[in-house]
Structure 1
Amino acid sequence: MKSVLPSQRCSCRAFQHAIRPRRFASTASSNTSATASRKNRWLGVLFVTATAAGAGAYVRSQGPGSTTLNEETFTKYSLVSREPVSATSSLFTLRPRYPSGSNYDVYENAWRIGVWSVMFKQPQLQIGRDYTPLPTTSATTLTVDEENEGYLQFFIRKDPFGEVSRYLHTLSIGADIEMRGPQIECVIPEETKEIVFIAGGTGIAPALQAGHSLLSRRNDESRPKIHILWANRLKEDCLGGVSDTPRTLPSRGSWFPWFGTETVAPEQAAPAPAPAPAPLGEAASLIVKELEALKSQYPGQVKVDYYLDEENRFIRKDDISEAVKSSGSDGSLRKKLILVSGPEGFIGYMAGPKVWAQGQELQGPVQGVIKELDLKDWAVWKL
């Protein structure tokens, strides 16, 4: 069979992925048509700058490259360290190959806007995957000098079917990694007062970003809040994490329905013990430390609940309902957001799948658990 060079593989669909068309939002509201029209117009403005995730998209750098991270060309970074977080995931620390004082300003602008990502390139296959940088907290391993020099950190799981994540986990320390961005995934409006973030696995990275972006806007008149519901399959991913909302939880089933098990309704489940803190001398996971640092930095504004598949603790409809109930209702979509992030199956189960139409990745209708709750006054966004 005749071999095909990478430069000859660009299909029309792949090229459309590469240009990263804009996305549009959906809501879970079912008010009158006039109200829905007003909300839809607002959501169009709110998320007009959000762009497609582009996982597996065909990518090619054009031009000689740049020393400053940008959306047009790929910029070289060096792998400084890769610290294991669990058996399947690691914390990657990268620094610009050629230091540029402009990088810090690029990051800060993206942090202020909302949730953002960068695209990593797999040069052999000429494909790319978007990853979310972790914000700097008091638990970060970065020094002030490293921050000023443009270092970035990423929480990346090694996916056995993911070409880019497998490639990244094989790189030696000091190797070059090409990145492009930032891509704004979700704008968090200035009016936002509360976020409920439903995260699955490494979807916790955007949750940390959302918390950083929202809470750093505090002033004397406003103390915005974020409530994070974080689901994992393995204990080592959230070791030491203790939920802020004690509850009785299902004893069987799974919040990973795409793996072949079924979620058990609360009334069918037997009580399960609340999660316990890590044993004395057993260190909490890196991400749990980040979440605790966020809570310490913004006391009373951050709640985190942990859900663990292997210990029969799953995100239920009642958990989401309880998380949104405390905020009340003021009829303003601009003030309250539900964000869902994680594997495609997790997003689809919680809020319905995203869809492709004419080369564009769109939000699609709100479905799944969130649709069943029929929430009012909450904007819904799938990351």
Structure 2
Amino acid sequence: MPRAVSTARLANGFQHGCSVRVCLPIPWALSNDGRSRYGMRNSSNTSRPEPTNAPQPNPNPNLSSKPKRSRTGRNAIMTATGILGGWLLASYLRQPEISPDGFVRYTLTDRQTVSPTCSIFSLKPSKRSAAIDFSNPALSRAVTSVEFKQPQLQIARSYTILPPAPGQADDELRFLIRKERNGEVSGYLHRLPEGSEIEVRGPFVESALPDDVARVVFLAGGTGIAPAMRVAHTLQRDERANVRILWANRAREDCIGGQGNRFSQDTTTGWWSNWWQRSTSLRQQEMSQDTEPRSGEDKSTIVQALDQMAYSTATAGTGEDRIQVEYFVDEEGTFIKPDIVKRLLQHGNSRTNDDRQALLFVSGPEGFITYWAGAKEWVNGREVQGPVRGEVGKMQPLGWTVIKL
């Protein structure tokens, strides 16, 4: 999910239902003389004595002067010094580069078109740059993002890292990026040819999933599906957790082949209760009917990945399909309605009979987040969740932690 940023962020946690980010100014500004302010030291203005060609007296006339080295010896020393210096310089140039502001270089290896305005970008570390460090174990249960720099304008924008695809290399990163109208960073990225180098830094933790998750409802708008996929991927093997994703798009082209919207067909109380837990055989039958692409359509890469996650939990032998995705398309007249979300939260919460957590995520464009849960706020230089307002605030969902991404 893209979001304009001018801050470096630290890891979030769950604190009173809010994830908090510590914000610091982005430090890649230049000094007035055009030099980077980082990693440079002012040269001394102290004057040095000028050399003179006048002969210097021998301070101790009783000692004879050292014999002069031969020209051959001096040449040998200079040659050896040059070889050593060249080796040291080559070794230095082979060291991974890390810019003073923390950015490293990645190479654009592939760009896969998802829709006329949206693509999946695949990046790998550049041969002459260090890679982003993902060794922290806490990142395994986190929604993470990295910042992309637009070098001409010296601005950055944050994008969520997609979960790994089958056969993806360990050092490869993928991002779902929409070319926004007048988007400085997204437009720059979509103009780059394959093989281009891109400056990125991170990772940043947008939200960390606790270990005791029971229920997740995820309201995703547009490219806000990227963090939803991260959450579903993380909880895919957790047999105690159930994930319900409601994905809204303006046009069908953004979710080609994605069907399975049963809300417009049946909204009875009994059906709602059964939606949280249905038999494996029933879900397999629904998937074969509901997710079949229309005539002449192929499923998009994102829809295929979502279907695969849902199918993997439906056939795991647990008797319960733990990941479900519903699609809503504006141009087709299907929308995520407050009544749908309210009843989903009520029935989902009624099925949680222990102390495990229930999480409601809202992710997408700023207007989407504001409508559903209220805008995020800045307090003392920190971006915080802010009060839960909007449609979710009116519902006052008991037992649910609301998280805005």
TM-based fold match above 0.5 = yes
The alpha-carbon distance between structure 1 residues 175 and 168, as it changes in their structure 2 partners (threshold 3 A), is: same
- Cα displacement (A) at 1:164: 0.6
User: Is residue 119 of structure 2 the alignment partner of residue 90 of structure 1?
Assistant: yes
Q: Decide which structure has the larger Cα Rg and report it.
A: 2
The alpha-carbon distance between structure 1 residues 79 and 314, as it changes in their structure 2 partners (threshold 3 A), is: same
Partner of 1:235: 252
> CA–CA distance in 1 between the matches of 2:355 and 2:334?
30
Structure 2 spans left out of the alignment, 5+ residues:
30-37, 41-92, 267-288, 315-320
Partner of 2:68: none
Partner of 2:180: 159
Contact in 2 for aligned 1:58/1:126 (Cα 8 Å)? no
| Higher RCO (CA < 8 A, seq sep 6+) | 1
- Cα displacement (A) at 1:326: 2.8
Determine helix, strand or coil for the equivalent of 1:106. Answer: coil
> CA–CA distance in 2 between the matches of 1:126 and 1:203?
25
> CA–CA distance in 2 between the matches of 1:353 and 1:153?
28
Match of 1:278 among 267, 281, 293: 293
> CA–CA distance in 2 between the matches of 1:186 and 1:289?
25
- Cα displacement (A) at 1:116: 0.9
Residues 338-353 of structure 1: matches in 2 within 5 Å?
338-353=360-375
> CA–CA distance in 2 between the matches of 1:342 and 1:59?
27
> CA–CA distance in 2 between the matches of 1:24 and 1:111?
12
What letter corresponds to residue 361 of structure 1 in structure 2?
Answer: E
TM-score, normalised relative to structure 1: 0.72
Which has the larger displacement, 76-85 or 274-283? 274-283
Q: Map Cα deviations across residues 324-351 of structure 1 (whole Å, 9 max, x no partner).
A: 2234165878511001100000000010
Q: Map Cα deviations across residues 352-374 of structure 1 (whole Å, 9 max, x no partner).
A: 01112232212111011101111
The alpha-carbon distance between structure 1 residues 63 and 291, as it changes in their structure 2 partners (threshold 3 A), is: farther
Which has the larger displacement, 289-298 or 225-234? 289-298
Q: CA RMSD in A?
A: 3.4
What letter corresponds to residue 199 of structure 2 in structure 1?
Answer: E
Identical aligned pairs, as a percentage? 38
What letter corresponds to residue 7 of structure 2 in structure 1?
Answer: A
Moved over 6 A (4+): 21-25, 68-72, 99-102
- Cα displacement (A) at 1:297: 2.1
Q: Map Cα deviations across residues 251-288 of structure 1 (whole Å, 9 max, x no partner).
A: xxxxxxxxxxxxxxxxxxxxxxx988422442111111
Question: Number of matched residues?
Answer: 313
The alpha-carbon distance between structure 1 residues 302 and 329, as it changes in their structure 2 partners (threshold 3 A), is: closer
Structure 1 spans left out of the alignment, 5+ residues:
1-13, 26-38, 250-273
- Cα displacement (A) at 1:296: 1.8
Residues 274-353 of structure 1: matches in 2 within 5 Å?
277-299=292-314, 300-324=321-345, 325-328=347-350, 335-353=357-375
Match of 1:60 among 7, 16, 28: 28
- Cα displacement (A) at 1:298: 1.9
What letter corresponds to residue 207 of structure 1 in structure 2?
Answer: A
> CA–CA distance in 2 between the matches of 1:314 and 1:108?
39
User: Is residue 193 of structure 2 the alignment partner of residue 172 of structure 1?
Assistant: yes
- Cα displacement (A) at 1:19: 3.7
The alpha-carbon distance between structure 1 residues 110 and 290, as it changes in their structure 2 partners (threshold 3 A), is: farther
The alpha-carbon distance between structure 1 residues 117 and 245, as it changes in their structure 2 partners (threshold 3 A), is: same
